[in-house]
Chains A and B, each alone.
Chain A
Amino acid sequence: MESAIHARGLRKAFGRARVLHGVDLTVPTGTLLALLGPNGSGKTTTVRILTTLLRADGGTATVGGYDVAREGDRVRRVIGLTAQQATVDDLLTGRENLELFAGLYHLGRREARRRAQELLERFDLTTAADRRAGAYSGGMRRRLDLAASMVGAPRILFLDEPTTGLDPRSRAELWAVIRELLASGTTILLTTQYLDEADQLADRIAVLDGGRVVADDAPAALKRQVGSERLVLRLAGDEDAARAAAVLAAQGEDARRSPGDDPSEVTLALHGPDHLRRVLDLLHRAGVAPERVELRAPTLDDVFFELTKAVAA
């Protein structure tokens, strides 16, 4: 399958701070790749290089078949970008914003007006169309920003943390819009700090850590690697927690007392009901009784813990 985005060995340093250490990415046409990573992992830098806003120090990348370093003009004609910071004109209305950008895509006055109206309808902004964008709620601003990115009907869309700071409802609405864009054939590269977001939307997840891709796989495969759920054992105190962790570790379990969390807790990746029984049996035989047992979905922290452990081993 032809790849819409293809990057090999992207490197970038700002002064002495090395941000990217050779990033490889491939996004097949019509799919969504989630670039998952914490703050400072290099997500935005990667997006800025791929959208021609920033020049890489090393490596190559093509977007839509065009070289981002040498054919910036051509790349810009096939992409749309929704940056982390909403980039709409607060002083103009939603409609004026879209008409301005449509004009700058050289759509012609009547065509620009039609395109703006079409996007306002599609992104559910018709009632707010003639209000100033500065007065929009966070969710509306993001939708306007996304609509602005779609003005030129891009084949390839970059979304840099599109849902950061949104309430759950706005987030769900934005997810629906992203799914629609994907269904209509747009290739999407989305960055996120949230594993569940990547899981919900992505065909493939690339995990970025410290400027390197530490994993690149289908969500299901990645989740298998990380374990589906986390078992959290709360013990009577620090000492009990230390003993529980030691007992489990002696039996080959990957239990850890997560730094920053409650010191009386022990966390481990859980692989099914049998595994839960085995863990509780082990503790029972060792005479350590947890006060409470909790299950929770794996977080980004867990993913990093698992993946960086795999890299270190």
Chain B
Amino acid sequence: MTAMTTTAAAAAGRRGSGAGDLGRLIARALRHETCTVDALIVNIAMPVAIMVVFVYVFGGAITTGSSGLEYIDFAVPGVLVMCAGYGAALTAVSMAEEMTGGMIDRFRTLPIGAWTVPAALVIASVVRNVATTGIALAVAVVLGFRPDATPAGWVLTAAVVAGYVLAMSALAVLWGLMVTSTQAAGAFSFVVLFLPYLSDTVVPAETMPGALRAFAEHQPITPLVETLRGLLLDRPIGDSGWIAAAWLAGAVVVATPLAAARFRRRTSA
């Protein structure tokens, strides 16, 4: 016992690597997603339900306008974005829970860099949501979606989804640090889930009235979905790819320093 305590004390003085601590905290965040029934429902049942609703419920009623696509082919790329975004937005709740639940105090008295806490949430979110988006895609295939992506197209698809999850998770962390309750943090999911409706995702933007159509055509979700459609269906992408990449990079570049500053403020003072 005494010998053991001494080794523990000696080890406590040892400096660990930031990467090692980050890995431990990522493993913890991912463990959260597999150890409770509600987390499993959110991660697996939600994407499946969204996919089924769009393909079967809306699919029969909506025409795809001038694109000439089957509705399932038109909708699936956008529904993937909805699934990925919804899951990423939940990072806001995790962040708010860390801050309001007192865990952050525990982590801050440990000999680790406090920045590893939000960083781990973001990385875990990317891993988790790329995986759940993959599940949603598999469901889409079962329902009749037939992607024609080239191998390079698949790699780029995964990269675009990961980039979108990264951007949304970074914004979610910022939101989670701005609010003071987990309920308020949850509101971010609503915004992220709603945004695709006002884009060329669910119904063609050309069917919308003037102002809304202008918004739908210029908001980031539209080029993002266009890019995924192009990659998955092997169609021309045009400028959408660059525009989407610029939006995603912009979101990360803006959200990260703001979140870092906010985090420092919340953990000092």
A105 near B8 (CB under 8 angstroms)?
Answer: yes
Indicate with 1 or 0, residue by residue over A69-111, a CB within 8 angstroms of chain B CB atoms: 0000100111111010111110110001000111111111001
In the assembly, what is the distance between CA of A21 and CA of B65, in Å? 71
Contacts of B111 in A (CB 8 A): 73, 76-77, 104-106, 152
8 Å CB contact of A104 from B4, B31, B112, B268: B112
B35 near A132 (CB under 8 angstroms)?
Answer: yes
In the assembly, what is the distance between CA of A200 and CA of B8, in Å? 29
B108 near A52 (CB under 8 angstroms)?
Answer: yes
B102 within 8 A of A: yes
Contacts of B14 in A (CB 8 A): 106
Indicate with 1 or 0, residue by residue over A179-219, a CB within 8 angstroms of chain B CB atoms: 00000100000000000000000000000000000000000
B257 within 8 A of A: no
For the complex of A and B, the 6 pairs showing the least CB-CB separation, nearest first, are: A106-B16, A152-B12, A87-B106, A85-B102, A153-B8, A153-B9
Contacts of A153 in B (CB 8 A): 5-6, 8-9, 12
8 Å CB contact of A91 from B15, B31, B107, B268: B31
Indicate with 1 or 0, residue by residue over A59-74, a CB within 8 angstroms of chain B CB atoms: 0000000000000010
Known: A73-B111, A152-B12, A153-B9. 17 other contacts (CB 8 A): A52-B108, A53-B108, A55-B268, A87-B105, A87-B106, A91-B31, A91-B32, A104-B111, A105-B16, A106-B12, A106-B111, A107-B11, A107-B12, A118-B1, A132-B35, A152-B110, A153-B8
Contacts of A268 in B (CB 8 A): none
Closest to B7 in A: A111
List A residues at the B interface (Cβ < 8 Å). Answer: 51-55, 73, 76-81, 83, 85-89, 91-92, 96, 100-108, 111, 114-115, 118, 122, 132, 148, 151-155, 184
Closest to B35 in A: A91
Contacts of A77 in B (CB 8 A): 12-13, 111
Q: List 10 A-B contacts (CB under 8 A).
A: A52-B108, A55-B269, A81-B105, A81-B109, A87-B102, A87-B106, A91-B31, A111-B7, A111-B8, A122-B1
